[in-house]
Amino acid sequence: MGMQMASAYIGTTIMPPIFGSLAARFHFSIFPYFLGVTIVVMVILTEIVNNKTTSPKERINEA
């Protein structure tokens, strides 16, 4: 649970400045694309972590 909270705090600290710099350079209309890319990256990273933390037997049983 501590790792999840740390990740949430990092996300809420880092993402607004990143989007602010992108919006200043381009325009605020990139917000939906920014959210889409963020969601895709989160899904990919979640799958990578799940594959590294589950044993091969658990992966076979899930399929």
Ranges of each domain in the chain? 2-62
Across 8-20, average pLDDT: 87
According to the model, what pLDDT value does residue 23 have? 92
Q: Where are the alpha helices (DSSP H) in the chain?
A: 2-25, 31-53, 56-62
What is the pTM assigned to this prediction?
Answer: 0.67
Could you tell me the CA-to-CA distances from 39 to 32, 43, 44 in Å, in that order?
A: 11, 6, 9
- The pLDDT tens digits of the residues spanning 19-61 come to 999 999 999 999 999 999 988 988 898 888 888 887 766 666 6
According to the model, what pLDDT value does residue 58 have? 64
